[in-house]
Structure 1
Amino acid sequence: MGAAVAPTDATAVGVVSRLLPRRNVTLLRAESLINDGTALVVYSLAVGVTVGSEHLGAAHVSGLVALSYGGGIAAGAVVAWLGIQLRRRVRVLGDTLPDNLTIILLPFSAYLVAEQVEASGVLAVVVCGLVMSQAGPSIGRAAARLQTEAFWSLGMYLLNGALFVLVGLEAQAAVRELSGTALTQALLLVAAVYGALVVVRFLFLFVSVYAIRALDRRPRQRKRRMGHRARVVSALAGFRGAVSLALALSVPYTVDSGTAFPDRDTIVFVTAGVVVATLVVQGLILPAIARWAQLPRDQETERELGLARTTAAEAALDALPAVAADLGTDTDVTERLRAEYETHLNTLRAATTSVPESGALVRRHRQDATLRLALLEHKRSAVINLRDRHRIDDGVLLQVQQQLDAEEVRLSQVTDPE
């Protein structure tokens, strides 16, 4: 049960990411992903000892931890390298479906390979994802990326929902088995375990920082320091979620001798209760605590976003004459495109300055995007009307609608940057 409730949940942290600066969210997500590997080793060892297939020992446990981390990292790196080679060959086909299929299968492949060598599948997926995030933008296609992003958003939502449904069914069965005094003890255990998690997390975050400062006195380390209020927010953001539920559900029903696994119903019930407590209690008070902490507004993301967009527009303007010459583009078309890019570039530069004229330029740009966005509805209605009057086929409607949807998403980012 301790192994099940130990790791924090990266998905739950993402829900409150807008409340916290990017640095805090990155630390919470990294903590969750790395702690999963340790928790899974402890969990598998605890279950193995209970059912009679494992034994305790310093060398044995150390070897399991080393295999979990080393094997997981190696499996993730190998699968990612193979995935890059495969995606480069699939891209030649020009079809988004094979590319998307490869992307979808990569994390599952990394997990299965790591599990075959009894390493951490979670770390394998993390390493595979990190490698692919570096190589993916240069080998992927735009259509495949849009399709993949939509799939994973829906898939992650459905998987988390299905997991909570399964836990609800298991918890219901556990409650039926825990009657009278056992149920009361389980409820008290939920409160005790939840309280222990909160207290230990606060102690660790506040005590460990002084140990780090005592050991590492470099100026670089001092720049990474956070205030006490920021640590309070990080402590309360330690939600439990999918991994804890999955571990509780995977506790076996029997041991090697055939007898029932001791206190399985209690483990499932308490884990589910702790997950609900962290999500409900901490989730409700975290927004107020984040406001109390007065964390600095994260301007680094906006600065980097402006830098990326400005650099891209400048690169396009610099390359425009040569590209137009290679393609044999007419002069009037080139000049019209140059004017559009210059206007776009001036708007990007104006967004990072406080000159009065820049504010007017940004306002006109947003008004232009808002007007175009409103006109898209008329375009969409006109095309749907053609389909309803049997003037065009459903396939034609789909192609036009995809173009209009892509334009709507682009314009929505201008009118509503958040």
Structure 2
Amino acid sequence: MIAIILVLLLAVVVSGMLARLSPAPLPLPLVQIGLGALIASVADLSVQLQPDIFFLLFLPPLLFLDGWRIPKEGLFRDKGTILELALGLVLFTVLGVGFLLNWLFPAMPLAVAFALAAILSPTDPIAVSAIAARVPVPKRLMHILEGESLLNDASGLVCMRFAVVAALTGSFSLVSAFGTFLWVAIGGITIGVAVTWSTTRAVGWVTRRLGEETGSQILISLLIPFGAYLLAEHLHCSGILAAVAAGITMSYADQSGQILAITRVRGHAVWDTVQFAANGIIFVLLGEQLPLIVAGAAKAVRETGHHDPVWLIAYVAVITFALAALRFTWVWVSLRFTLARAARRGEKRYVPGLRLVAATSLAGVRGAITLAGVLTLPLTMNDGSAFPVRDLAIFLAAGVIILSLVAASIGLPFLLKNLELPPEPSHQEEEDRVRNAAAEAAIKALEKVQHKMGSGRNDADLYVEVGARLMELYRERIDGRSKIGAEADLARKADAIERELRLAGLRAERDEIYRVARARGTSDEIARKLVREIDLLEARFGPA
């Protein structure tokens, strides 16, 4: 098991290198799937994925981090559009694709078809951003896709849960399902909020009395999503919604500003690594499992009356096209309703063209959540028999992931190239206002500390001199950001020049420290300390 984990992590590292080396803009998930298939062809890792364990290991941290980092301003500004995509589109997809699957595969029970359709409904913005690395997705569209993904992960997987229960029990009650849904949803959200809030309050209480330990703080943040998920599942609520709610609550808890700066810096680095590793392992595992998935799916297809395996590719293409068509239809109709409501209120709204609607539809790429969800389908029914066409369902989900990634990698750059969009609102004035407020608060704090530390001392003049020099830097910053027009542009150019010069000086400092360390002119401990200080300063003055 340890060897398998190390091989998977090494594959994730290698995939990143291969993606950067490729002349064409290959999405990282596709590279990882291909690398996983290559590993399967040369080595038998014998990885047997246990659905419950797989779900627990990968989904809570990924969903938690999505909730933690999603821009709240964009989430609330476009909440109507996001909810229409994350809830309405999911139900539309479940019904449309569910009946299509049942028609394509008579051997697939309707409940299983709905479960697979629900699994295929969540989208993956990480894959979209990887595809659009060379043709950036408009910022507002990306915020909408991120918000949609955050919520449709939960709604899609909750729908899957109901469909699987119906498949196992053979019965389904709409009234009972609605009541259960309310309990599952409200309970999951409440538990996620409560776990994060109570944990952060308890940690804050301990920190105020014993001091802060960076490693413990980061470890606690890693444990919170698992705690919220497990508690919610134990109480028969949605662990998925609990993880999402825990992440959103964590973003508000961060605004208390109680943790140390070094904790935030290291915490972000740890979470970036966790996200990169978890997403990467999921796609490498998909590639590693492809031979078994294809073999099982071919057997299931023969049961439908087709003997040529090429039908598998045809089925994947039909389902992928159906998903894109349903998404295009929903986005177009939803847009018309939004514009009609705006017209009744007398608002003048930007009317997106069909290219932008098509780009929004094509950006509905399936990824890690879809794969994680389909692998959690039960292995057996309640009576001990095999779950119907499970291998075929896994293959179809894997095929849709791959084909949607390929289609988006080809189509998105074409659709987004030279696309005219309304200019994004500038937040420069807001940023300047906040920076000025922070600088004024710093001046007041310096005056207070200067008076406190310098009174009654022989070196009071030194405190006055140093304090005045620091306060002058803050006043220059305020004056530069308070200017308007050409003077403001000149001040910003001066800031950019200052940043470039500071970065050049910091890099020269670091190179010299390394040179002295290599010549044994100082200890490793001192060299690491000085380099760490320079790294933090470089992060401060680096590009935003």
TM over 0.5: yes
Q: 1:137 to 1:23 in 2, by over 3 A?
A: same
- The aligned residue for residue 69 of structure 1 is 185
- The equivalences for 1:375-386 within 5 A come to 375-386=505-516
Question: Which of 323, 328, 332 is the matching residue for 1:202?
Answer: 328
Q: CA deviation at 1:259?
A: 2.9
Whether the 8 Å contact between 2:380 and 2:387 is mirrored in structure 1 is yes
- The aligned residue for residue 248 of structure 1 is 374
Is 2:181 the counterpart of 1:87? no
Two-structure CA RMSD over aligned residues (Å) = 2.6
- The aligned residue for residue 517 of structure 2 is 387
- The aligned residue for residue 108 of structure 1 is 226
In the aligned structure 2, how far is the partner of 1:335 from the partner of 1:314?
A: 14
In the aligned structure 2, how far is the partner of 1:233 from the partner of 1:310?
A: 39
Q: 1:87 to 1:10 in 2, by over 3 A?
A: farther
Which one-letter code corresponds to 1:381 in the other structure? D
Which one-letter code corresponds to 1:227 in the other structure? P
Whether the 8 Å contact between 1:47 and 1:251 is mirrored in structure 2 is yes
Q: Secondary structure at the match of 2:485?
A: coil
Q: 1:118 to 1:14 in 2, by over 3 A?
A: farther
* 1:38-79 CA-partner distances (Å, limit 9, x unpaired): 2112212222333x3462111222123212211111111111
Which one-letter code corresponds to 1:81 in the other structure? W
Identity of aligned residues (%): 30
Whether the 8 Å contact between 2:359 and 2:412 is mirrored in structure 1 is yes
- The aligned residue for residue 335 of structure 1 is 468
Which one-letter code corresponds to 1:254 in the other structure? T
Is 2:136 the counterpart of 1:3? no
Q: CA deviation at 1:310?
A: 2.9
Q: CA deviation at 1:22?
A: 4.1
Q: 1:164 to 1:371 in 2, by over 3 A?
A: same
- The aligned residue for residue 130 of structure 1 is 248
- The aligned residue for residue 148 of structure 1 is 267
Q: CA deviation at 1:226?
A: 5.3
- The aligned residue for residue 12 of structure 1 is 127
Q: Secondary structure at the match of 1:240?
A: coil
Is 2:284 the counterpart of 1:165? yes
Whether the 8 Å contact between 1:87 and 1:140 is mirrored in structure 2 is no
Q: CA deviation at 1:201?
A: 0.5
- The aligned residue for residue 485 of structure 2 is 354
Q: CA deviation at 1:391?
A: 3.6
* 1:345-371 CA-partner distances (Å, limit 9, x unpaired): 334345xx431x444433333222222
Question: Which of 445, 452, 470 is the matching residue for 1:326?
Answer: 452
Q: Secondary structure at the match of 1:19?
A: coil
Q: Secondary structure at the match of 1:119?
A: coil
* 1:285-306 CA-partner distances (Å, limit 9, x unpaired): 2233233431233234444333
Whether the 8 Å contact between 1:38 and 1:65 is mirrored in structure 2 is no
* 1:141-172 CA-partner distances (Å, limit 9, x unpaired): 21111111111111101100000011112222
Q: CA deviation at 1:256?
A: 2.8
Q: 1:336 to 1:49 in 2, by over 3 A?
A: same
Q: 1:155 to 1:2 in 2, by over 3 A?
A: same
Which one-letter code corresponds to 2:146 in the other structure? R
* 1:6-53 CA-partner distances (Å, limit 9, x unpaired): 111243355459934443333222222222222112212222333x34
More RCO (CA 8 Å, sep 6+):
2
99-108 vs 379-388, which moves further: 379-388
Q: CA deviation at 1:401?
A: 1.3
Q: 1:301 to 1:2 in 2, by over 3 A?
A: farther
Is 2:435 the counterpart of 1:309? yes
Q: 1:64 to 1:192 in 2, by over 3 A?
A: farther
Question: Which of 143, 151, 158 is the matching residue for 1:41?
Answer: 158
Q: Secondary structure at the match of 2:123?
A: coil
Which one-letter code corresponds to 1:99 in the other structure? Q
Q: Secondary structure at the match of 1:55?
A: coil
Q: 1:305 to 1:359 in 2, by over 3 A?
A: closer
Question: Which of 176, 201, 217 is the matching residue for 1:60?
Answer: 176
* 1:228-265 CA-partner distances (Å, limit 9, x unpaired): 45434322222211110001111233323333322222
In the aligned structure 2, how far is the partner of 1:393 from the partner of 1:40?
A: 54
In the aligned structure 2, how far is the partner of 1:324 from the partner of 1:386?
A: 37
* 1:97-121 CA-partner distances (Å, limit 9, x unpaired): 1211221211221122222222222
In the aligned structure 2, how far is the partner of 1:300 from the partner of 1:274?
A: 38
Whether the 8 Å contact between 2:225 and 2:246 is mirrored in structure 1 is yes
* 1:370-409 CA-partner distances (Å, limit 9, x unpaired): 2221222322222223333334332222211110101111
TM-score scaled to structure 2, two decimals?
0.69
- The aligned residue for residue 118 of structure 1 is 236
Which one-letter code corresponds to 2:200 in the other structure? I
268-277 vs 86-95, which moves further: 86-95
In the aligned structure 1, how far is the partner of 2:259 from the partner of 2:358?
A: 40
Aligned residues: 409
In the aligned structure 2, how far is the partner of 1:240 from the partner of 1:282?
A: 10
Which one-letter code corresponds to 2:180 in the other structure? L
Gaps of 5+ in 2: 1-115, 455-459
- The aligned residue for residue 400 of structure 2 is 274
- The aligned residue for residue 87 of structure 2 is none
Q: 1:386 to 1:334 in 2, by over 3 A?
A: same
